[in-house]
Amino acid sequence: MSQTTRLFIAAPLPEELKKYFSEQAGRYKHEAIRQVPIDNLHLTLYFIGNVPASQLDTIQDVTAHMAQQFAPFTLQLEAIEPGPKPRSPRLIWARFKSHDVFAQLSRSLTQALSAEPPLSREPKPHVTLARFRKDRPVPHNLEPFHPHYPVTLEVNEIAVWHSELGSPHPRYSILQRYPLTG
Ligand code: 3AM
């Protein structure tokens, strides 16, 4: 049996933004809310999943090629709130305003790396800050937070990440970074 590896493509975050998100997530105090460790925070572009380890080179080549097609872009934070569905949330996320370049980059990676047809729905730029435990009552009445000052994320690189499932948290590591140079 060939060895498999669990991968995803995401943009790393600057240290200050990770600190900011971690502090904001820490305001949500509830027994069901489990904060994502600060070093795991990232902006997902495409989740690849388990693939034969032999595909890693091709995935890295595709990601490098894509990074050369796109110029850096800036996302603006819209809210920190329960998501992804307001009526049945499973997590707390930092949701950015939708952005054409993010959507195009995410779609292009999906198309290049997946046999599946691309999603018809708009991929939402977000950072997951906390997840709800399934073995605890679902928290209610969590207040969204809309900063009245600008919070931005400059996406100037993307990376191939390795994910190792574990409890209570998966362990993520960056395998290779690619600056956006398009
Ligand atoms: O950026 P977030 O936290 O939304 O939810 C997982 C995380 O996204 C997502 O991939 C990112 C890195 O783990 N993910 C995990 N399993 C997934 C799956 N089976 C998945 N996305 C889609 N399908």
pLDDT tens by residue, 148-163 = 999 999 999 999 999 9
* ipTM tops 0.90: yes
Residue 44 CA to ligand 1 centre (angstroms): 8
Q: Determine the residue of 44, 169, 172 to mutate for testing ligand 1's pocket, defined as the one with the most ligand atoms within 8 A of the Cβ atom.
A: 44
Domain boundary assignment for the chain: 4-179
Active site residue 162: no
- Strand boundaries in the chain, DSSP class E: 4-11, 33-35, 43-52, 73-83, 91-96, 126-132, 152-155, 157-164, 171-179
CATH class of 4-179: alpha beta
pLDDT tens by residue, 116-145 = 776 677 789 999 999 999 999 889 889 999
